[in-house]
Structure 1
Amino acid sequence: MPEGKIIKALSGFYYVKSEDGIYQCRGRGVFRKNKITPLVGDDVEFLAENNKEGYILEIKERQNELIRPPVANVDQAILIFSAKNPDFNSALLDRFLVLIESNHIQPVIVITKMDLTEDSDVDVIEKYVHDYESIGYQVVVTSSKKGDGMDQITPILKDKISVFAGQSGVGKSSLLNALRPELELETNAISKHLGRGKHTTRHVELIEIAEGLVADTPGFSSLDFKNIELEELTFYFPEMKTRINDCKFRGCLHVKEPGCAIKEAVIKDEIKTYRYEHYLSFLEEIRQRKPRYER
């Protein structure tokens, strides 16, 4: 039975790339019956009816999966945040990082639009770059218009499935166009009235770029922490995770508990105050979440 990878999902069809080409496939009825949805990135077995069409028969075990955007077997998430227009938002970046970490996907931070910055902006961005690199994250600073930083991104993409995600209007499509100009992906300028960009990507598709596959997606339509429990949140802040065994009490949430190694590290500036404040904000958001009831 031929095997392949779903590279695009559109209007109920799944486009499977195999050694023999790309087949437009439908899923078997049993998938709907078992409430299984094939995802872009899935490795599948399929039955070819002719040299262009077929049916997906089996979905191989997934390494991981994202629901919004719907992509499976992701190796890394390229988180795109702009230095200006819109301004760099560390709280939103930390929210993305927690969600990516919780899905066991490697994050890479890319800061775009450096060509729009002034000297004072550059100082701020350089401080954030230093902070996130000291935590252990890979950070690339770019300008799609000038072409700066593109040579650093291409080796990151090789032989991997990457999701490009980030705040609307930060230049995801512009960055992809800079990496592969013939794509000519639709881009929209920031709406000055709304202060944000319009979504220009309407379906998920894996695009071959720099010897890897990149999922250009409509973005994360859900940025809540509905699948993260209070006790888990610390594990998605790497600089906290390495210190949790030093807390006096097991299960410490690092709020008011005595002998907390995390709070001590914040006082010593070993953990940045803004990161800790974001942790507390996310913790309260999870605490206020409506309880889930199993059916």
Structure 2
Amino acid sequence: MAQGQIRKALSGYYYVFHDGELVQCRGRGVFRNRGEAPLVGDIVDFTKEGDSDGYIMKIYPRNNELVRPPIANVDQALLVFSVKEPDFSTLLLDRFLVVLESFRVKPIICLTKMDLLSDTELDDLKQYIEDYQKIGYMVIDTYKDDETLVEILQPILEGKTSVLAGQSGVGKSTLLNTLIPELNLKTSGISHSLGRGKHTTRHVELIDIGNGLLADTPGFSSFDFDTIEKEDLTHCFPEIATLSESCKFRGCLHLREPKCAVKGALDNGELPEYRYEHYLEFLQEITDRKPRY
């Protein structure tokens, strides 16, 4: 039996990297019986049959796992958001950030299509960038044919397993083509009737980039909060988590509780209003969620 890492999943097959080659494997039936499924990024034991086929026999414990995209053992996520076509949305960005925080995956914000902004729009965006940087997030801004992008991203991706995520049409495939030109991934424009990009990536795959791995993931519009409880939401907003340490009551939800440090920071302008509004919206969504049995 050999050990390797699943680098790609496609059409019921798992491609396990071992000793410099990819071995096409199937999952054992026992995984289905347990309700388990191998994921890209998993460290596994497998048996090899013939020259190129095999069966996955064991899945090692995961550091983390994302449901959408389906991938495990991720260090960081490069969240690609366009500032135009489709327009930048702090609400959508905060959904991504909250879920990644819940899985303890480090988010890195990458803003594309900066060249499409007017001067007024750019001034507005700069305030958002400052807000997220103040929280502690790394924010990278880029534009079409940005010659400095590879130089900026390579040290960030070095030695890490990273996920490339974001809406369709924001420039993920263009960014990957810039980083790894030999991929020559298909890109697509924006569907003006839908206001978003057409889906171009069909499967999850880990790609070598220097001494790191980067996953291009199928396009999706948002994350769900299925695994987050309302008591944990505070900790998925780093600045609110820090402020909450000064709340009078432990477990404060920052709604109508007295001597709430979060509400105080909101009143004095220390906490951006849109971040608090998003917290309330997500809290309500979690509260309204149907019970799971």
Question: Which interval holds the TM-score relative to the shorter structure?
Answer: over 0.9
Give, in angstroms, the shift of residue 222 of structure 1: 5.7
Checking the alignment, whether the CA contact within 8 Å between 1:144 and 1:175 is kept in structure 2 is no
Give, in angstroms, the shift of residue 168 of structure 1: 2.1
Asked whether 1:149 is paired with 2:149, we answer yes
Asked whether 1:123 is paired with 2:123, we answer yes
2:49 corresponds to = 49
The letter for the 1-side match of 2:194 is L
The letter for the 2-side match of 1:14 is Y
The letter for the 1-side match of 2:239 is E
**Number of aligned residue pairs:** 293
SS at match of 1:278: helix
1:225 corresponds to = 225
Distance 2:178 2:209 in 1: 11
1:166 corresponds to = 166
2:269 corresponds to = 269
Q: Could you give the per-residue CA deviations for residues 1-41 of structure 1, whole angstroms, max 9, x where no partner exists?
A: 32111000011110001114110011112111222100000
Is there any run of 5+ residues in structure 2 with no aligned partner, and where?
A: none
The letter for the 2-side match of 1:40 is V
Distance 1:175 1:130 in 2: 23
Is there any run of 5+ residues in structure 1 with no aligned partner, and where?
A: none
SS at match of 1:242: helix
Q: Could you give the per-residue CA deviations for residues 111-158 of structure 1, whole angstroms, max 9, x where no partner exists?
A: 011121221122122211111010001111112423343321111111
1:236 corresponds to = 236
Checking the alignment, whether the CA contact within 8 Å between 2:191 and 2:197 is kept in structure 1 is yes
1:247 corresponds to = 247
The letter for the 1-side match of 2:271 is I
Distance 2:144 2:156 in 1: 17
Distance 2:156 2:276 in 1: 29
- TM value normalised by structure 2: 0.96
Distance 2:90 2:150 in 1: 23
- Pairing 1:19-168 to 2, within 5 Å after superposition: 19-168=19-168
Distance 2:224 2:14 in 1: 28
RMSD: 1.3
The letter for the 1-side match of 2:209 is I
SS at match of 2:156: helix
Of residues 243-252 and 228-237 in structure 1, the stretch that sits farther from structure 2 once superposed is 243-252
Give, in angstroms, the shift of residue 211 of structure 1: 2.8
SS at match of 1:54: strand
Distance 1:32 1:250 in 2: 42
The letter for the 1-side match of 2:169 is G
Asked whether 1:3 is paired with 2:3, we answer yes
The letter for the 1-side match of 2:125 is I
Distance 1:68 1:104 in 2: 15
Structure 1 residues 221 and 3 mapped into 2: Cα distance closer, same or farther (>3 Å)?
farther
Distance 1:267 1:153 in 2: 38
Checking the alignment, whether the CA contact within 8 Å between 1:13 and 1:24 is kept in structure 2 is yes
| Aligned sequence identity (%) | 58
Asked whether 1:202 is paired with 2:202, we answer yes
Q: Could you give the per-residue CA deviations for residues 154-192 of structure 1, whole angstroms, max 9, x where no partner exists?
A: 111111111111122111111111111111111110012
- Pairing 1:174-213 to 2, within 5 Å after superposition: 174-213=174-213
Checking the alignment, whether the CA contact within 8 Å between 2:177 and 2:183 is kept in structure 1 is yes
Distance 2:36 2:229 in 1: 25
Checking the alignment, whether the CA contact within 8 Å between 1:31 and 1:37 is kept in structure 2 is yes
The letter for the 2-side match of 1:287 is T
Give, in angstroms, the shift of residue 84 of structure 1: 1.0
Checking the alignment, whether the CA contact within 8 Å between 2:5 and 2:44 is kept in structure 1 is yes
The letter for the 1-side match of 2:91 is A
Runs of 4+ in structure 1 over 4 Å off: none
